[in-house]
């Protein structure tokens, strides 16, 4: 593991592969960590890629530099963290690949700073930039049922529940979101250590409250959120991966999934795979990344 000061964080990350290879940043989601990319990164390194795999804010050894910094989990903060990491590592351009929170960070940077992005791999919903202004519009009952954990965290009972039962809570989400993935106890235990970060609960709770407009964001990111509120198009070459058995993302047809993209985009649905696509389907995830390089 390496550490680097980037923006408001001291980011803990893996940096593996040849210095001269094409760069890919692999971004985990909630509630996961960098172990989601163990097999993906090993295969990419063998193919000559340099892989940067960071712990997001609130996870693992990554820490805030200042105790006064708001423990925000808003989308603008995640995008700003990623951009700051690219700057700190002096990476002018990289392929970005992520899912869930990590996919959101990648989409934010791809939309607002496309010159820094060679290509994008984003798991469903594909265009992963939240439309907070529309957050009060109800979805279908089935979609609302899938989002129970978000509504739970809107109240203080949910915050207390996450703080007291973070391991059990996250393990339940793994099972519900990837119902066909028979992960080993050791696999979950490797990742669960990341949830012991002292800021994990605050960052997670803020994320699920901010996306519904229930709490204010960090003022330092207001200019980014203002741009994201316009739902900017993503113009970089993109591959969208969708797990057919994803227990949290609503099933959508490809025509709906590719809205928000102005450049080359294709969507692939992977049978027998749930929410944690890189860990459940590393072959398809690697193929998606390498296909972007071939098309450049």
Q: What is the 3-state secondary structure (H, E, C) of 70-118?
A: CCCCCHHHHHHHHHHHHHHCCCCCEEEEECCHHHHHHHHHHHHCHHHEE
Residue 57 φ/ψ, nearest 5 degrees:
-55, 135
pLDDT category, 246, cuts 50, 70, 90? Answer: very high
Percent of the chain residues past pLDDT 90, beyond the cut:
93
Give pairs for 219-224: CB < 8 Å, separation 24+: 220/8, 220/80, 221/72, 221/74, 221/76, 221/77, 221/80, 222/76, 224/76, 224/79, 224/80, 224/108, 224/112
What's the mean pLDDT in 202-231? Answer: 98
Handedness of CA 18, 19, 24, 29 (dihedral sign): positive
pLDDT of residue 258: 85
Closest Cα partner for 82 from 110, 59, 50, 115? 110
Could you report the per-residue pLDDT of 113-152, keeping only the tens digit for each? 999 999 999 999 999 999 999 999 998 999 899 999 999 9
pTM of the prediction?
Answer: 0.97
Look over the chain and give the mean of its residue pLDDT values, rounded to a whole number: 96
Alpha helices in the chain (DSSP H): 38-46, 75-88, 101-112, 141-146, 148-152, 156-164, 166-177, 185-192, 200-210, 222-228, 254-257, 277-280, 282-294
Residue 122's closest CA among 95, 98, 87?
98
Rounded mean pLDDT of 178-195?
A: 98
Res. 296: pLDDT tops 70: no
The pLDDT score that the predictor gives to residue 256 is: 77
Mean pLDDT over 180-196 rounds to: 98
pLDDT at 254: 74
Distance CA 163, CA 188 (A): 18
Q: What is the mean pLDDT of residues 162-176?
A: 98
CATH (residue range 2-294): 3.40.50.1820
């Amino acid at each position: 593991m390496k550490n680097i000061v980037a923006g408001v964080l001291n980011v803990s990350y893996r940096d593996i592969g040849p210095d001269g290879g094409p760069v890919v940043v692999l971004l985990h989601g909630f509630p996961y960590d960098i172990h989601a990319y163990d097999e993906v990164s090993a295969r990419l390194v063998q193919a000559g890629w340099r892989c940067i795999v960071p712990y997001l804010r609130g996870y693992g050894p990554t820490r805030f530099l200042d105790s006064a910094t708001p423990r925000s989990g808003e989308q603008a903060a995640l995008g700003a963290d990623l951009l700051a990491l690219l700057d700190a590592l002096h990476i002018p351009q990289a392929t970005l690949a992520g899912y869930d929170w990590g996919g959101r960070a990648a989409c934010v940077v791809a939309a607002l700073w496309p010159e820094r992005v060679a290509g994008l791999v984003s798991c469903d919903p594909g265009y992963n930039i939240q439309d907070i202004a529309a957050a009060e519009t109800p979805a279908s009952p089935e979609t609302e049922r899938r989002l129970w954990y978000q509504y739970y965290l809107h109240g203080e009972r949910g915050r207390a529940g996450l703080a007291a039962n973070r391991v059990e809570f996250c393990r339940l989400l793994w099972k519900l979101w990837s119902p066909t993935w028979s992960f080993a106890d050791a696999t979950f235990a490797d990742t669960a250590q990341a949830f012991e970060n002292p800021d994990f609960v605050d960052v997670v709770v803020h994320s699920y409250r901010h996306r519904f407009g229930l709490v204010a964001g960090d003022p330092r990111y207001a200019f980014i959120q203002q741009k994201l509120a316009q739902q900017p198009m993503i113009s970089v070459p993109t591959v969208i991966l969708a797990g057919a058995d994803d227990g949290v993302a609503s099933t959508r047809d490809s025509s709906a999934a590719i809205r928000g993209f102005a450049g080359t985009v294709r969507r692939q649905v992977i049978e027998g795979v749930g929410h944690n696509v890189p860990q459940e389907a590393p072959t398809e995830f690697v193929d998606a990344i390498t296909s972007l390089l071939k098309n450049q």
